């Protein structure tokens, strides 16, 4: 399967009369874009902003991030989700690089939503602090979940993906600055010199622990709670087949942007034919009941063995209960003779003294650790807030609180905040961006 | 200039060797022994040196700590240093004990140094900075240098890095840091995987604590003739707690005669365990140390005989290493009395 991603590097985003891309400048006609968003009648209020690195901007509650993409052949960039169901991972996709569409709630947030700062001390905590962002701030008529801690954020997340495709439409007929090739031959038809290399699978455990539909990660629009682990081509993951869900404490989240650009996948691709024979992705999930966790681990280990994997990477989107899926899968792979490396974040508590994962096993001897979800972060006020900062303390954020007898409220009257890393939007970057690690003090 | 005070034992205080190990605490103005080496580069004036015999501290801990804390009362102090203690066990434990007490009483930072083999490391590493020191006194200059380096960072209010970087024993606190070289997780992951695949050594970023599983003993063949003993981590002690077992993070245990007792009476026994509501155990200590039931069962001939002592400590916050040591100290009593089985009552 061969995927080509044609890149257009966005150096600046501005509002103007027509949607266009010229010499690195992305111009957006705000009204036209907003009209497009309002086609979904659930959207009751919408506004667009631009947020770039260095801006005195804080965003809250941030719900989703998407890289603007379009397919020149007319197929949907997010097949089975906001467009017709088609094969992803093959042919040409155009991408606006260095930028993202961020979706922010105008008022209401929840457990799965987070913070992005564009400058100052808070900037480094998220990838999106470093990108040019088109920020959609909107509200919906989804009254049923307005006051719920867990939100599907369906209208807003779809709006973000639609907007990303709408904006990228302006490069549909242009020549990309560069074309990246992702070409991975069928597993059993590879050159002898590649087959000599140790073969490796990438095991992904996206968040799928909600029994009710509408919250979980999707594969071609299918709720991944309703699947057992299966083989996927890495190109499908990089090409919009996987849509991020709306459930996890948000520092653990893999946004759709993270799937589209997954650094772990790209790193394995880069080693393919040099130091490893990259077999592809075993797409697993995260489960609630122990039997479901064990079943998934059995499937993963079997697939890895049947594919002939010598090595595996396991990455989990989440912490706490999903640690059991992570460790279980890791151990199953080791027991099957597959040399495994895990990628995860930790929850060692505000004082750093808690057990890092809820379950541990001595067989898990190679783990890349990307941060502590419960690290306390204190940040000064920012001039501009997009969304509603009060949501951090009011709406049951995983890293925010209304009041605390020692720390006081998360959101202070002057706009400064104190929170757990838990609410940094996609902050732990287990998908591979993370330059954080954990050390014993 | 900031001020610091040093604690050393009778040997390094130039009082004498083992024969002077009962030396009672003394405070002197200025620097003695290693103090001179510290003073060379410490960013604080080393105003006083406390000297105490290792045995005096070991056998009269409470008294020794009390005397020293009184000596320190009213003294200006920005930092308290003890040792370095190398591999000397009693000295290491003394350094840890006094550092912990000084930190709790005066709220000043404390620094000591020990060799990895020193039992004081396991006992106190979670409570303070213990630098990883040499095993013998000839390493004095090197250990003092490492201590001064950390002390100066504390005195200058600089950020203290992680354990491995600064050379102290990890305190069981895991925190996130940004890697200076900015290597992303994806690159670290590939690097670790290649090393693992190629059989090269690699370093995990999340070391899994070694699980020390004890195999379950074989069943007792003939319970009717078996001798049974009672051990608890529930903190049941005679009401005056004669062995001064701590209510949490215990390092002490007790052995109490139940040879002629039908049951543990409320008012005579109680729990000193700080990890649960003591009301029920104080009202009837047998709910944790079931002497009453065992006496009845013995009379009924269910088992052979009861070892005439029960053993008690407190489990809450107690380190595995301490628990293991206490068990090793208790086991000889059980073996000597030919005990076949132990009922281990936790809470």
Q: Omega before B84 cis (within 30°)?
A: yes
Are residues B149 and B7 part of one domain? yes
Whether the pLDDT of residue A432 is over 90: the answer is yes
Candidates A267, A310, A360; nearest CB to B190 = A267
How many CA atoms, within 13 angstroms, populate the side-chain half-sphere of residue B190? 21
d(CA B100, CA B61): 12
DSSP A2-43: EEEEEEEE--EEEE-SS-EEETTEEEE-HHHHHHHHTTSTTE
Interface of A with B in 188-227 (CB under 8 A): 198, 200
The closest alpha carbon to A83, from A162, A136, A155, belongs to: A162
The closest alpha carbon to B123, from B58, B215, B55, B56, belongs to: B58
| Listed residues B166, B185, B211: the one ending a domain | B166
Mean pLDDT of chain B: 95
Q: Is A139 domain-assigned?
A: yes
Which pLDDT score is estimated for A381? 98
Confidence category of residue A117, pLDDT binned at 50, 70, 90 = very high
d(CA B103, CA B78): 11
> How far, CA to CA in Å, does A118 sit from each of A155, A156, A177, B273?
25, 21, 27, 51
Q: Does A369 touch chain B (CB under 8 A)?
A: yes
Contact criterion met (CB < 8 Å) for B163 and A440: yes
Q: What DSSP state is assigned to residue A220?
A: T
Global confidence as pTM: 0.85
Residue in the structure block whose two tokens are 């987070």: A114
Confidence category of residue B1, pLDDT binned at 50, 70, 90 = very high
Which pLDDT score is estimated for B274? 80
Find the closest chain B residue to A274 by CA distance. Answer: B194
CB distance A99 to A132 below 8 Å: yes
Whether the pLDDT of residue A76 is over 90: the answer is yes
Whether the pLDDT of residue A17 is over 90: the answer is yes
CB distance B143 to B86 below 8 Å: yes
Which pLDDT score is estimated for B246? 87
Residue in the structure block whose two tokens are 């305190």: B171
Q: Is A368 left (phi over 0), alpha (psi -120 to 50) or beta?
A: beta
CB-CB neighbors (< 8 A) of B206 in chain A: 342, 344, 346, 356-357, 364, 367, 369, 438
Q: Does A26 touch chain B (CB under 8 A)?
A: no
> How far, CA to CA in Å, does B270 sit from each of A15, A324, B240, B288, B314?
76, 40, 9, 10, 12
CB-CB neighbors (< 8 A) of A440 in chain B: 162-164, 170-174
Cα Rg of chain B (Å, integer): 25
Share of chain A above pLDDT 90, in %: 97
pLDDT in tens, B86-116: 999 999 999 999 999 999 999 999 999 999 9
pLDDT in tens, B42-94: 999 999 999 999 999 999 999 999 999 999 999 999 999 999 999 999 999 99
Candidates B163, B198, B205; nearest CB to A369 = B205
CB-CB neighbors (< 8 A) of B162 in chain A: 439-441
Q: Does A358 touch chain B (CB under 8 A)?
A: no
Are residues B131 and B7 part of one domain? yes
DSSP A376-429: EEEE---SEEEE-TTHHHHTT-TT--S--TTT--SB-TTS-EEEEGGGBTTTT-
Which pLDDT score is estimated for A14? 98
Q: Is B270 domain-assigned?
A: yes
In this structure, the strands spanning A277-283 and A199-205 are parallel
d(CA A380, CA A263): 31
Confidence category of residue A6, pLDDT binned at 50, 70, 90 = very high
The DSSP bridge partners found for residue A203 are: A282, A314
In this structure, the strands spanning A436-440 and B174-178 are antiparallel
Confidence category of residue A354, pLDDT binned at 50, 70, 90 = confident
Q: Omega before A61 cis (within 30°)?
A: yes
The residue of B177, B183, B186 whose CB has the most chain A CBs within 10 angstroms, and thus the best one to mutate to test that interface, is B186
Find the closest chain A residue to B188 by CA distance. Answer: A368
Whether the pLDDT of residue A397 is over 80: the answer is yes
pLDDT in tens, B260-308: 899 999 999 999 998 788 899 999 999 999 999 999 999 999 999 999 9
Are residues B236 and B151 part of one domain? no
Q: Which domain holds residue B277?
A: 223-345
Which pLDDT score is estimated for B132? 98
User: Domain count of chain A?
Assistant: 1
The domain that holds B159 is classified in CATH as: 3.40.50.2300
Whether the pLDDT of residue B133 is over 80: the answer is yes
Which pLDDT score is estimated for A116? 98
d(CA A71, CA A89): 11
User: Domain count of chain B?
Assistant: 2
Which pLDDT score is estimated for A387? 98
Share of chain A above pLDDT 70, in %: 100
Q: Is B116 domain-assigned?
A: yes
Candidates A365, A436, A440; nearest CB to B178 = A436
The residue of B193, B202, B210 whose CB has the most chain A CBs within 10 angstroms, and thus the best one to mutate to test that interface, is B193
Residues in Cβ contact with A255 at an 8 Å cutoff, skipping those fewer than 6 apart: A64, A65, A66, A244, A425, A426
Confidence category of residue A255, pLDDT binned at 50, 70, 90 = very high
CB distance A221 to A28 below 8 Å: no
d(CA B298, CA B311): 19
Contact criterion met (CB < 8 Å) for B189 and A432: yes
Q: Is A433 domain-assigned?
A: no
The beta strand positions in chain B, using DSSP E, are 3-9, 26-29, 45-52, 79-82, 110-114, 129-132, 174-178, 227-232, 236-238, 254-257, 269-271, 305-312, 341-345
The DSSP bridge partners found for residue A205 are: A316
pLDDT in tens, B144-175: 999 999 999 999 999 999 999 999 999 999 99
Whether the pLDDT of residue B212 is over 80: the answer is no
Is the C-alpha dihedral spanning A46, A51, A55, A60 positive or negative?
Answer: positive
Confidence category of residue B214, pLDDT binned at 50, 70, 90 = confident
Q: Is A441 domain-assigned?
A: no
Which pLDDT score is estimated for A38? 98
pLDDT in tens, B217-268: 999 999 999 999 999 999 999 999 999 998 877 889 999 999 989 999 999 9
CB-CB neighbors (< 8 A) of A373 in chain B: none
Query: Hey, what long-range contacts does A405-413 have (CB within 8 A, 24 or more apart)?
Result: A407/A376
Are residues B332 and B233 part of one domain? yes
Whether the pLDDT of residue A433 is over 90: the answer is yes
Among A10-14, A26-30, A360-364, B207-211, the least confident range: B207-211
Candidates A343, A361, A437; nearest CB to B177 = A437
The residue of A127, A265, A368, A421 whose CB has the most chain B CBs within 10 angstroms, and thus the best one to mutate to test that interface, is A368
| Listed residues B128, B143, B166: the one ending a domain | B166
Are residues B152 and B18 part of one domain? yes
Residues in Cβ contact with A9 at an 8 Å cutoff, skipping those fewer than 6 apart: A24, A97, A98, A177
CB-CB neighbors (< 8 A) of A434 in chain B: 184-185
Which pLDDT score is estimated for A396? 92
Whether the pLDDT of residue B211 is over 80: the answer is no
Which pLDDT score is estimated for B63? 96
Whether the pLDDT of residue B118 is over 90: the answer is yes
The DSSP bridge partners found for residue A418 are: A378
Which pLDDT score is estimated for A222? 98
The closest alpha carbon to A345, from A261, A241, A421, belongs to: A421
CB-CB neighbors (< 8 A) of B211 in chain A: 362
pLDDT in tens, A95-104: 999 999 999 9
Whether the pLDDT of residue B323 is over 90: the answer is no
The closest alpha carbon to A37, from A167, A125, A127, belongs to: A167
In this structure, the strands spanning A230-232 and A12-15 are unpaired
Q: Which domain holds residue A213?
A: 2-423
Candidates A310, A352, A429; nearest CB to B185 = A429
Candidates A268, A271, A438; nearest CB to B174 = A438
Q: Is B293 left (phi over 0), alpha (psi -120 to 50) or beta?
A: alpha
Whether the pLDDT of residue B210 is over 80: the answer is no
d(CA A74, CA A72): 5
Cα Rg of chain A (Å, integer): 21
> From the CA of B121, how many Å to the nearest CA of chain A?
15
pLDDT in tens, A308-348: 999 999 999 999 999 999 999 999 999 999 999 999 999 99
Q: Is B321 domain-assigned?
A: yes
Q: String of b and e for B229-241 (b: at least 16 CB within 10 Å)?
A: bbbbbbbbbbeeb
Are residues B231 and B159 part of one domain? no
3-state secondary structure of A175: coil
The closest alpha carbon to A320, from A352, A349, A353, belongs to: A349
d(CA B46, CA B50): 11
CB distance B5 to B26 below 8 Å: no
């Amino acid at each position: 399967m061969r995927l080509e991603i044609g890149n257009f590097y966005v150096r600046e985003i501005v509002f103007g009369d027509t949607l266009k891309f010229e010499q690195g400048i992305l111009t957006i006609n705000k009204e036209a874009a907003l009209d497009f968003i309002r086609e979904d009648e659930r959207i009751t209020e919408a506004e667009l902003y631009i947020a770039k690195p260095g801006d005195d901007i804080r965003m809250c509650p941030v719900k989703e991030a998407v890289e603007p993409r379009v397919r020149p052949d007319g197929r949907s960039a997010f097949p089975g989700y906001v467009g017709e169901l088609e094969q992803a991972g093959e042919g040409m996709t155009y991408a606006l690089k260095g930028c993202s569409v961020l979706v922010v709630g105008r008022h209401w947030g929840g457990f799965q939503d987070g913070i992005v700062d564009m400058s100052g001390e808070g900037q480094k905590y998220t990838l999106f602090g470093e990108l040019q962002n088109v920020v959609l701030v909107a509200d919906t008529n989804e009254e049923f979940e307005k006051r719920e801690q867990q939100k599907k954020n369906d209208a807003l997340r779809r709006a973000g993906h639609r907007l990303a495709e709408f904006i990228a439409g302006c490069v549909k007929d242009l020549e990309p600055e560069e074309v990246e090739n992702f070409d991975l031959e069928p597993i059993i038809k590879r050159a002898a010199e590649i087959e000599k290399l140790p073969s490796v699978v990438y095991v992904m455990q996206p968040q799928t622990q909600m029994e009710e539909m509408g919250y979980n990660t999707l594969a071609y629009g299918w709720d991944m709670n309703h699947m057992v682990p299966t083989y996927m081509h890495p190109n499908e993951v990089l090409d919009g087949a996987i849509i991020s869900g709306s459930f996890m404490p948000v520092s653990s989240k893999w946004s759709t942007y993270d799937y589209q650009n997954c650094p772990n996948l790209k790193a394995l691709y880069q080693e393919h034919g040099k130091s490893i024979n990259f077999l592809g992705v075993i797409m697993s999930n995260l489960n609630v009941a122990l039997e479901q966790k064990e079943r998934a681990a059995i499937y993963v280990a079997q697939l890895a063995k049947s594919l002939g994997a010598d090595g595996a990477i396991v990455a989990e989107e989440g912490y706490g209960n999903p640690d059991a899926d992570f460790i279980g899968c890791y151990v199953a792979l080791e027991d099957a003779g597959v040399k495994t490396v895990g990628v995860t974040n930790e929850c060692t508590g505000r004082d750093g003294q808690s057990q890092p994962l809820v379950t541990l096993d001595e067989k898990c001897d190679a783990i890349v650790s990307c941060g502590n979800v419960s690290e306390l972060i204190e940040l000064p006020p920012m001039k501009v807030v997009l969304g509603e900062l009060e949501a951090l303390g009011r709406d049951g954020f995983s890293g925010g609180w209304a009041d605390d007898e020692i720390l006081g409220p998360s959101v202070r009257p002057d706009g400064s905040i104190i929170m757990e890393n838990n609410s940094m939007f996609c902050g732990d970057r287990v998908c591979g961006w993370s330059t954080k690690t954990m050390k014993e003090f | 200039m900031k001020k610091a005070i040093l604690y050393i034992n009778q040997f390094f205080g130039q009082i004498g060797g083992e024969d002077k190990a009962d030396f009672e605490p003394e405070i002197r103005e200025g620097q003695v022994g290693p103090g001179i080496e510290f003073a060379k580069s410490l960013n604080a004036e080393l105003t006083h040196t406390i000297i105490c015999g290792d045995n005096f501290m070991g056998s009269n801990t409470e008294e020794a700590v009390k005397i020293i804390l009184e000596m320190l009362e009213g003294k200006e102090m920005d930092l308290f240093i003890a040792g370095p203690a190398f591999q000397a066990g009693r000295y290491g434990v003394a350094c840890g004990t006094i550092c912990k007490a000084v930190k709790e009483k005066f709220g000043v930072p404390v620094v000591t140094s020990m060799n990895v083999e020193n039992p004081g490391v396991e006992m106190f590493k979670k409570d303070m900075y213990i630098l990883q020191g040499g095993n013998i006194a000839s390493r004095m200059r090197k250990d003092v240098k490492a201590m001064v380096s950390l002390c100066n960072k504390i005195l200058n209010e600089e950020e203290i890095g992680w354990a491995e970087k600064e050379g102290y024993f990890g305190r069981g606190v895991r925190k996130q840091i940004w890697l200076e070289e900015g290597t992303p997780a994806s690159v670290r992951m590939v690097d670790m995987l290649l090393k693992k695949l190629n059989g090269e050594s690699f370093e995990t970023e999340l070391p899994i604590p070694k699980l020390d599983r004890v195999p379950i003993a074989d069943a007792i063949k003939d319970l009717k003739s078996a001798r049974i003993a009672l051990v608890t981590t529930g903190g049941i002690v005679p009401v005056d707690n004669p062995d001064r077992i701590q209510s949490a993070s215990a390092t002490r245990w007790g052995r109490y005669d139940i040879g002629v007792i039908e049951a543990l009476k409320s008012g005579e026994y109680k729990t000193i365990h700080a990890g649960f509501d003591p009301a029920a155990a104080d009202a009837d200590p047998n709910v944790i140390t079931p002497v009453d039931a065992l006496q009845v069962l013995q009379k009924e001939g269910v088992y052979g005989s009861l070892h005439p002592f029960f053993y008690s400590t407190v489990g809450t916050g107690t380190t595995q290493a301490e628990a293991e040591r206490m068990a090793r100290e208790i086991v000889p009593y059980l073996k000597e009395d030919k005990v076949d089985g132990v009922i281990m009552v936790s809470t």
